[in-house]
Amino acid sequence: MEPITLLNILRQAEKLKCVTRHCDTSSGRRESVAEHSWRLALMAMLVADEFPHDDMNKVIRMCLIHDLGESFTGDIPAFDKVPGHREKEQALLAGWVDTFPEPSRTEFRDLLAEMNALQTREARIYKALDNLEAVIQHDESDISTWLPLEYDLQLAYGADKVTFSPYLTALKAEIDRMTRRKIAEEGNREASV
C-alpha cells in the first residue's frame, strides 16, 4: 500500500478516537468508539483458546473494523438505531472501502459482508463479543449514568447472540451476575440514604 493511501485511511479511522459512545468509562468520561474496538479485539484474542476450530485472527480483524462506519456517522446507541441509520452507515463505509487499493479492498469487503450476514461462526463470535463488551463497559461505568431502560437492557443485550456457544453463554451469565450485583448495590445504597 502506498504511504499516502495508508495515511489517508488512518486519517479517517482516527476519527473513531474522537467519536464517543453512549457509555462512560470507569473514570467517568465518555468512551470512544476506538476504545471499544480495541478492547473488543483484545477480548477476541483472550478467548481464542475457547474456539480452537475457528479462525480467531479473522474474528480479531472483524472486531477492529466493525465500527469504522461510525467514523462517518458517529455512534448511535443500539436502542436508538433504526434500519435507516444502519443503511446509511453501511453505504458510507462501502463507498470508502471501494477507494482502497487491492488486496485491502477485497479483504474489507469480504469481512464486512461476512459480518453483516452473521452466518459463519467467526461472524457470530465477533457479534456476541461486541454485545458483551458493551455490557461489560456499562457495568464498569457509574450506575448514575444509566438510563431507566438500561437496567433491563443490561440483562437482555447480547443474550440472543451467545446461545450457539456454551463458553459465551457462561460468559454472559457471569456478566449478568455482575450486573445484578451492581443494581443491588445501588438499591442498597439508596435504601440507606
CA separation for the pair 186, 193 (Å, rounded):
11
Neighbours of 153 (CB within 10 A): 19
* Ranges in the chain, pLDDT < 70: 188-193
Question: Which pLDDT does position 78 carry in this prediction?
Answer: 84
Question: Which pLDDT does position 193 carry in this prediction?
Answer: 58
Cβ-contact 126, 44 below 8 angstroms: yes
Class of residue 39 by CB neighbours under 10 A (exposed 0-12, middle 13-18, buried 19+): middle
Q: Any bridge partners for residue 65, and if so which?
A: none
Cβ-contact 122, 57 below 8 angstroms: no
89-119 pLDDT, tens digit each: 999 999 999 999 999 999 999 999 999 999 9
Q: 3-class DSSP state for residue 116?
A: helix
Q: Copy the grid coordinates of residue 52.
A: 480452537
Instruction: Give CA separation, 190 vs 24, 50, 138, 184, in Å.
Output: 21, 40, 20, 10
Q: What is the pTM of this model?
A: 0.94
CA separation for the pair 128, 109 (Å, rounded):
21
According to CATH, the topology of domain 3-192 is Hypothetical protein af1432 (1.10.3210)
Q: What Rg, from alpha-carbon coordinates, does the chain have? A: 18
80-89 pLDDT, tens digit each: 888 899 999 9
